[in-house]
Amino acid sequence: MKGNLFALARYTLLRAVMLGFAVVVALYLVVLIVNMGGHLDKVRRGEIRQAVAAAVTMIPENQLLPPSELNQMIERQTELQYRYYGLDQPFIWRSFRYLITALSLSLGRSENLTSDSGSRQVRNIILERLPSTLVLFGTSSLILFFTSLFAALALSRRYGSWADRLVVALAPTSSAPGWFYGIFLILIFAAVLRVLPWGGMVEAPPPKTTLGYALSLVRHMILPVAAMAAGGLLASIYARRTFFLIFSSEDYVDLAKAKGLSSRAIERRYILRPTLPTIITQFMFLIIGMWQGAVILEQVFVWPGIGSLTISAVNLSDTPMILGVNVIYAYLLALSLFILEFVYAIIDPRVRVGAGPQRRL
């Protein structure tokens, strides 16, 4: 027993160290990529020099100075700016600074973006955008996940029925992304029928009462959620149905039927239960995935979420901002992988016994 506990502790620690290492490597790669391997520094230096030169020459008194002195002044100001942004240090050194700021979750200051409340802290900007992303993608992901799960289970039990054939036939419509359907939905329901808003999260000005605010939010969420459903639901039902179909042809499902169990009991104990590890994994990734939002969909629906924040950050080459979004995702991913190891052990006896130092027989 004691040996078992020790083995478990050692295994846990080893997994944590390996996941931590993976996070560090992944984030350093992100640092290198968003800085274009250091090339971005050159671009940024040039931009700063240009901006400083423009600013300095704009001031009327400076225009009277001799060119050499003017150049010196520009040089001095540029150096100050370089130091402010840390550009006076070599890139390799800065890359590790980026990494450490990211890993310590202090996230640092954005270079170009500000929050609505005026903060330049990456953390504040992300926290400001997060609720709107979570409310939209949380709602739609959960609806889509559970709808597709239970629809797929039902269809797999009615293989070959007209409903099943319909889903199989229509599944390819999901190959177009959600935002594509979003454009058409906006055209139909906002432009032609004028029953639903064009985009945004709430009416302007926002309703004063909580109820009014909530209703307005729901009205604004209908189209984006419908767009995501159009772009993903059928394909996901189709994929899961096939998955359940494979698992319902197992011999133990057959025997369960012979045993006279009801359909519901068979579905619950003999199909869902053995496939639970896979379903939980998918669910976990969905939960952390909704954090990132969707870049184009948010643009189409003018949704003030993380997705549109990411795209502005990419456009402005705002390294701290891009890193900030990625580091949180990396941590969530590593954490959920770590948690999943234990969840598997709880729900799947094969993992539980196999993880120990010796299998008992």
Partner 1 sequence: MGEGNLLRVKNLTLHFRTTRGVLQAVDSVSFAMDRRRSITIIGESGCGKTSLARALLRLLPRNVHSYTGEVYLDGTDVMRMSDEWFRQNVRWTKVSMVSQAAMNALNPVLKVGDQVAEPLRVHRRMSKDEALARAREVFRIVGVPDDFLHRYAFELSGGMRQRAILAMALVTSPQLILLDEPTSALDMLTQANIFNALKDIKNQLEVGFILITHDISTSSDLADEVLVMYAGQLVEHSLSTTGYTKPLHPYAHGLMSSVPTLREDKKLEFIPGQPPSLINPPTGCRFAARCPRRFDRCDQEPPTFTVGAYGEQVKCWLHAKG
Residue 349 found at the interface with partner 1 (CB under 8 A): yes
Residue 160 found at the interface with partner 1 (CB under 8 A): yes
Measured CA to CA, the distance from residue 137 to residue 307 in angstroms comes to: 11
By C-beta, is 244 or 331 nearer to partner 1? 244
Q: Closest separation between CB of residue 360 and partner 1, Å?
A: 7
Measured CA to CA, the distance from residue 222 to residue 216 in angstroms comes to: 10
By C-beta, is 270 or 303 nearer to partner 1? 270
Residue 255 found at the interface with partner 1 (CB under 8 A): yes
Q: Closest separation between CB of residue 343 and partner 1, Å?
A: 13
Candidates 83-91, 116-124, 233-241, 270-278: pick the segment binding partner 1 (CB under 8 A). Answer: 270-278
Is the CB of residue 234 less than 8 Å from the CB of residue 170? yes
Is the CB of residue 319 less than 8 Å from the CB of residue 34? yes
Residue 157 found at the interface with partner 1 (CB under 8 A): no
Burial class from Cβ neighbours inside 10 Å (0-12, 13-18, 19+) for residue 110 reads: buried
Q: Which amino acid is at 197?
A: P
Q: According to CB under 8 A, which one of 69, 88, 116, 250 is a site residue for partner 1?
A: 250
Is the CB of residue 91 less than 8 Å from the CB of residue 35? yes
Residue 251 found at the interface with partner 1 (CB under 8 A): yes
Q: State the DSSP code for 90.
A: -
Is the CB of residue 329 less than 8 Å from the CB of residue 149? no
Q: According to CB under 8 A, which one of 24, 113, 269, 287 is a site residue for partner 1?
A: 269
Residue 254 found at the interface with partner 1 (CB under 8 A): yes
Q: State the DSSP code for 202.
A: S
Candidates 36-44, 86-94, 123-131, 272-280: pick the segment binding partner 1 (CB under 8 A). Answer: 272-280
Q: Which amino acid is at 30?
A: V
Q: Closest separation between CB of residue 152 and partner 1, Å?
A: 17
Residue 92 found at the interface with partner 1 (CB under 8 A): no
Residue 98 found at the interface with partner 1 (CB under 8 A): no
Close Cβ partners of 14 (under 8 Å, ≥ 6 residues apart): none
Measured CA to CA, the distance from residue 337 to residue 241 in angstroms comes to: 25
By C-beta, is 174 or 248 nearer to partner 1? 248
Q: Closest separation between CB of residue 158 and partner 1, Å?
A: 10
Residues in the chain: 361
- Taking residue 268's Cβ as centre, other Cβ atoms within 10 Å add up to 13
Q: Closest separation between CB of residue 159 and partner 1, Å?
A: 6
Residues that bind partner 1 (CB under 8 A): 159-160, 250-252, 254-262, 265, 269-270, 273-274, 276, 347-350, 353, 360-361
